């Protein structure tokens, strides 16, 4: 991010990230480390579904926040950089998951947990945003 | 996808998709048969394992080619929205399911299903997005 004045949509995106996503990540960390690793909690039934939803809430919130940003952003160039980055991330995520899934299915490659798809997507998107910004610098 | 009579980009996209779908069927058949009959292992096994993934990757490239070739900005924007809704739904489902696997021992969802889940959400998003612009 440059030191230039950003758009109102970008500021709103940053505020939402800071005040929604970050607290959700912190709560997830507390739940994961304190609850499951330290106290070895084994939730069952509805509580387990609630815990799973709580753990996945940062990525779901992130998707909504990105959607809101794309709807609010007036700068077509900024919007197109983000959209291009997301398209690269979609392509890479689907390619890697299909490739690895085929290897798991047919040649006993180590199992990759499906929850890792979100991290793969975010990692590729961050790289793609950097690459696109470098391309249009 | 709706196809206007003169839209070459979408015709090429459809052709690539149908060709890749046919190749997927063929390669899955070849891979399954060779694993069942020849009991492959080593490098050949890995090659045969990734063989069905190659036409699927081609379909992804076809999507990129379509977005690059499409001259109609509105159609391109619509397709981008379908894809973004598709990935949003996919990430929501895979992440929640992944944690459910940890907590409740629901059936394991293999990575190979990420691709069909994505296209399922794209298919759901298509009429919804189109309705917005009616």
Render pLDDT for B112-127 as a digit per residue (tens, 0 to 9).
Answer: 899 999 999 999 999 9
* Alpha carbon distance B61, B51 (integer Å): 16
Is the ipTM above a cut-off of 0.85? no
**What's the predicted TM-score (pTM) here?**
0.83
Contact at CB, B111 and A59, closer than 8 angstroms: no
Q: Is A78 on the interface with B (CB under 8 A)?
A: no
State the smallest CA–CA distance between residue B6 and chain A in angstroms.
26
Contact at CB, A51 and B99, closer than 8 angstroms: yes
Does residue B4 carry a pLDDT above 70? no
Angle between helices A76-107 and B73-104 (to 10 degrees): 50
Residue B116 and residue B104 share a domain: yes
Average of per-residue pLDDT across A105-128? 87
Comparing A61 with A39, which gets the higher pLDDT?
Answer: A61
Given pLDDT bands bounded at 50, 70 and 90, which one contains residue B5? low
Residue of B nearest to A86 (CA): B84
Residue B37 and residue B47 share a domain: yes
The residue behind tokens 């197109």 is A80
Q: Report the number of distinct structural domains present in chain B.
A: 2
Residue B126 and residue B79 share a domain: yes
Counting residues of chain A whose pLDDT is more than 70, the rounded percentage is: 91
Given pLDDT bands bounded at 50, 70 and 90, which one contains residue B133? confident
What does the mean pLDDT of chain A come to? 85
The residue behind tokens 């009429």 is B127
Residue B51 and residue B112 share a domain: no
Residue B2 and residue B59 share a domain: yes
Residue B46 and residue B94 share a domain: no
Residue B65 and residue B1 share a domain: yes
Contact at CB, A114 and B109, closer than 8 angstroms: yes
What does the mean pLDDT of chain B come to? 86
Domain boundary among B70, B90, B118: B70
Average of per-residue pLDDT across B57-74? 88
Q: Is B57 on the interface with A (CB under 8 A)?
A: yes
Contact at CB, B95 and A113, closer than 8 angstroms: no
Comparing A42 with A100, which gets the higher pLDDT?
Answer: A100
Residue B129 and residue B118 share a domain: yes
pLDDT of residue A27: 87
- Domain, as residue range, for B44: 1-70
Label each residue of chain B as H, E or C: CCCCCCCHHHHHHHHHHHHHHHHHHHHHHHHHHHHHHHCCCCHHHHHHHHCCHHHHHHHHHHHHHHHHHCCCHHHHHHHHHHHHHHHHHHHHHHHHHHHHHHHHCCCCCCHHHHHHHHHHHHHHHHHHHHHHCC
pLDDT of residue A5: 64
* Alpha carbon distance B20, B39 (integer Å): 27
Q: Report yes or no: A13 and A37 within 8 Å, Cβ to Cβ.
A: no
Residue B42 and residue B1 share a domain: yes
Comparing B55 with B102, which gets the higher pLDDT?
Answer: B55
* Alpha carbon distance A83, B73 (integer Å): 14
* Alpha carbon distance B90, A117 (integer Å): 9
Q: Is A120 on the interface with B (CB under 8 A)?
A: no
CA-closest candidate to residue B12, choices B85, B56, B64: B64
Residue B134 and residue B105 share a domain: yes
Residue B66 and residue B36 share a domain: yes
Comparing A50 with B5, which gets the higher pLDDT?
Answer: A50
CA A59 from centroid of its chain's CA atoms = 5
Task: Give A-chain residues touching B96 at CB under 8 angstroms.
Answer: 52-53, 56, 60
Residue B120 and residue B63 share a domain: no
Average of per-residue pLDDT across A46-72? 86
Cα–Cα distances in Å, from A20 out to A7, A24, A84? 20, 6, 25
């Amino acid at each position: 991010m440059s030191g230039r004045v950003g758009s109102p949509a970008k500021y709103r995106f940053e505020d939402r990230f800071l005040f929604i996503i970050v607290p959700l990540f912190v709560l997830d960390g507390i739940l994961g480390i304190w609850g499951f690793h330290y106290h070895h909690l084994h939730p069952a039934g509805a509580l387990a579904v609630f815990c799973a939803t709580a753990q996945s809430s940062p990525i779901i919130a992130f998707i909504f926040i990105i959607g809101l940003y794309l709807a609010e952003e007036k700068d077509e160039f900024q919007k197109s950089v983000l959209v291009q980055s997301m398209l690269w991330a979609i392509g890479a995520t689907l390619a890697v998951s299909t490739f690895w899934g085929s290897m798991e299915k047919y040649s006993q490659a180590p199992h990759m947990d499906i929850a890792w798809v979100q991290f793969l997507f975010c990692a590729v998107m961050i790289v793609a945003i950097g690459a696109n910004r470098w391309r249009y610098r | 996808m709706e196809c206007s009579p003169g839209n070459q980009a979408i015709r090429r996209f459809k052709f690539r998709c149908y060709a890749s779908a046919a190749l997927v069927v063929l390669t899955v058949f070849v891979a399954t048969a060779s694993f069942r009959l020849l009991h492959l292992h080593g490098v050949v096994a890995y090659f045969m394992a990734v063989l069905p993934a190659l036409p699927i990757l081609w379909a992804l490239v076809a999507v990129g080619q379509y977005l690059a070739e499409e001259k109609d900005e509105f159609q391109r924007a619509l397709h981008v929205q379908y894809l973004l809704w598709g990935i949003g739904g996919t990430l929501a489902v895979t992440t929640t399911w992944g944690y459910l696997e940890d907590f409740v021992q629901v059936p394991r969802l293999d990575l190979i299903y990420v691709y069909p889940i994505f296209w399922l959400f794209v298919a759901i998003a298509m009429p919804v997005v189109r309705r917005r612009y009616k």
